[in-house]
Amino acid sequence: MEYSINTFEKLLNACEKENKKIYEIMQEKEASDFEITVEEVRKKTLKNIQAMKEAIKKGLNSTEKSISGLCGDDCYKLENKYKQKKALFGRLFEKITTYALATMEENLRMNKIVACPTAGSCGIVPAVIIALAEEYDLSEEEQINALITAGTIGYVISSKVAMAGAVAGCQAECGVASAMSAAAAVQILGGNDNQIVNAAALALKNLLGLTCDPVAGLVEIPCVKRNVFLAIHAITAAELSLSKIESKIPYDEVIDAMVQTGQLMSPLLKETSQGGLAVTKTGKFINKDLKSKYTMLEGK
């Protein structure tokens, strides 16, 4: 694969020239770059999918709190709510929201997850792909296609900006994960290449400026619940794109805007825990309380 795919325009041009889907272009490029076969690329992707499923399964069956004690039982609470009263938007909504929580809670327990694109955003892509796979009875091959499609979106964006809250805020973590998930959903639901990229653009442009302001410097508040919200955000973008509603700002220009927004964002709002939620009255109290507890433990 000779293509340099560092913009969405180049990606779509390659798809058109080769008459191939996004995942086909990317799996061939991956195989060429790492000097392996396409089959090996797909086997590696399947391992990631299996790891995602395992994290969801374990997360759904655990109420173990994080070391901080701040989070860990929200998935249990949500599942109980759904048992008593179904979600307004149906079973798929229930799965996406609980799967996102289950995965993020496994992350804060320091168990195995798939960083997609980061650990702090690890619940979004698995929740969307696995929930849709179950609801639509997707084959392993179709699930692999979806995850490679999601990965392609992240790959193109990463050519312009690092996937890190410290670089561009949470728009570069959960925001990108939501865009990746929107693209995967459109792939699963039969959209074309342009609709796939358009869904990613719709998702991302409505998350520009999303700050990274973790309370006490932990990937817990607001990270855990943010994954749930942005998984659903991805589905909204997919529905719009499949309805032929287009982003008026072209795909690559949305990424440029995200880069600029990240550059303009105050360092206080980029993973330093020196602004936003982290310095609210309650945020400061939590931080002080945890430091006191850790000091006591170290002294024993």
Task: Give residue 294's pLDDT.
Answer: 73
Classify residue 10 as exposed, middle or buried by CB count within 10 Å of its CB (0-12, 13-18, 19+): middle
> Per this entry, what is the length of the chain?
300
pTM for the complete prediction? 0.96
CA angle 123, 225, 163 (to 5 degrees): 50
- Phi, psi values for residue 61, rounded to 5°: -115, 25
Q: Which amino acid appears at position 31 of this protein?
A: A
CA-to-CA separations, 152 to 70, 92, 181, 184, 225, in angstroms, rounded: 34, 25, 11, 10, 25
Cβ contacts of residue 82 below 8 Å, gap of 6+? 94, 98
Cβ contacts of residue 79 below 8 Å, gap of 6+? 60, 98
How far is Cα 264 from Cα 246, in angstroms, rounded to an integer? 27
Task: Give residue 299's pLDDT.
Answer: 58
Q: Which two tokens stand for residue 254?
A: 């949305």
Count Cα neighbours of 218 within 13 Å in the Cβ-side half-sphere: 23
Task: Give residue 297's pLDDT.
Answer: 57
Q: Which amino acid appears at position 104 of this protein?
A: M
Q: In order along the chain (300 residues), what is the average pLDDT of each group of 10 residues?
A: 84 97 97 96 98 98 95 97 96 98 97 97 98 98 98 97 96 98 98 98 98 96 98 98 97 97 97 97 96 70
Q: Which of 9, 1, 2 is nearest to 160 (CA)?
A: 9
Using DSSP's 3-state secondary structure scheme, residue 165 falls into helix
Task: Give residue 104's pLDDT.
Answer: 98
Task: Give residue 115's pLDDT.
Answer: 97
